[in-house]
Amino acid sequence: MTYVPKRLVREESIENCLNELQRRANFHNVPELVYALSYARECMRAILRNAEHSELADLFEAAYGEDIRQFVPNCIEERVREYLREAGDIGIDEHDEQLRSYVEYFCILGLVFRVHALPRTEQKREQSITEKKATIAKELRSNGTDEE
Amino acid sequence: MSDVVRVRMTRLDRAYEECRAAISEALAEPEPGDVKHVPIGLLEPKKFMEDVILPLTQGCLVELLPPPNVLMFEYRRRLLRGLQYEGIPITRLGPSIVDSLMSAVIACLESHLLSNKELTSSHAIREREREYRRAVSSCVLPVIKIMYDLASEYGYAQAQGEMRVGP
C-alpha cells in the first residue's frame, strides 16, 4: 500500500497551521493565550478529523510510535508535570487551567510539526529506498562486469 | 534648549517610588520638632518590625501585585526563582502571594534582628539604627524590587502621565 498523506491532510492547511501557530506563540498574557489556543484547537480538530478518514493515524504511529489521538492529551500531562517539577512549589497544581492551556498550545504545535514533517519523511523514505535500489543495481552490475 | 526633561511615569513606577520613599522616611532621622516620628533606634526589634516596617512592606506588596490577565504560573515561577536568587529565605509560594512574601520577609528580618542580643539593650540606639537599615536592605527592598522588575517585564505597568524634571 502506498501512503499518500497529503491526499487527505491537505498540505497547505498544515502549512497554514504551522505558520500561524508559530506566529501566535509569542503571547504575554491570558487574553492572547486564549485567542491563540482557540486557533490551535481548530488546527488539532482538523488534523484529527483527517486522521479518521485517512492513513494519517497509521503513518503517525509508524513514524513516531504514538497514537495521534492521544498525542496532545499525553503531551499535556507530561509537560505540566515537568513544568511543575522544575518550577518548584509555586502554589499551583497540575489542574491549573492557565498552565494546562499554555502547555496545550505547545503540544498542539508539536503535533502540527510532526504531521507537517510526515510527507517529507515519507518522501525521504521513498527516496532512500530508490537510492538503495540504485546502489544495489549498480553493485550487481559492477559484480557482473568483474566476473566477466 | 529647554532644561525640562520629560520622564514617562507608570502606575507601577509611581507605586514603587512611593514605597521606596515611605521606607526611606521611616528609616530616616526625624526632622527637628517632628514629635510624631519616633526614631527607629528607640524601638525594640519586635516593635520596629510590627509597628514600622511590616505594615509598610505589606502595603507595597499589594500595590505591586500583577493583574489577573498575567500568566500566573509563569509569574509565580519567576518570582520564586528571583527571590531565592536574592537570598530571601523562601522555599514555596502559597495561594496568596502577599502572605507568602510576608512570611519570607518576617523570617528574614527575625534572623537579622531577633537573634542579635545586643539590639535588646536600651543603650544600643546607634547599633539598632544601623542593623534595622541593614535588615531592610537585605529583606525588604530586594523583594519589592523583584516585584517591580517583574511587573515591568510583564508589561502591566500602564502609563499614567509624565513627570517634569528640571527647573
pLDDT at A120 over 90: no
Copy the grid coordinates of residue A62.
509508524
Contacting B with CB below 8 Å, chain A residues are 28-31, 33, 83, 87-92, 96, 98-99, 102
> Can you list the alpha helix ranges (DSSP code H) found in chain A?
5-8, 11-24, 30-52, 56-64, 68-87, 97-147
Chain B residues with CB under 8 Å of a chain A CB are 68-74, 76-77, 80, 91-95, 97, 100, 154-156
Q: Which residues pair with A12 in a beta bridge?
A: none
By the 10 Å C-beta count (0-12 exposed, 13-18 middle, 19+ buried), B159 is classed as exposed
Answer yes or no: do B91 and A88 touch at CB < 8 A.
yes
Which range, A10-19, B61-70, B136-145, has the best average confidence (pLDDT)? B136-145
- Cα–Cα distance, A52 to A64 (Å, whole number): 18
Angle at B135 between CA B14 and CA B125, to 5 degrees: 110
Q: Are B39 and B29 in contact (CB under 8 A)?
A: yes
- Which pLDDT belongs to residue B158? 53
Cell of B56: 509598610
Q: ipTM for the complex? A: 0.78
pLDDT at B138: 95
pLDDT in tens, B23-72: 999 998 877 777 777 888 888 999 999 999 999 999 999 999 988 888 99
* Of A54-68, B8-22, B96-110, the least confident: B8-22
Backbone phi, then psi, for A89, in 5-degree steps? -85, 90
**Amino acid letter for position B161:** G
Q: Residue B120 above 80 pLDDT? A: no
**What confidence score (pLDDT) does residue A147 get?**
47
Neighbour count for residue A45 (Cβ, 10 Å): 11
pTM confidence score: 0.79
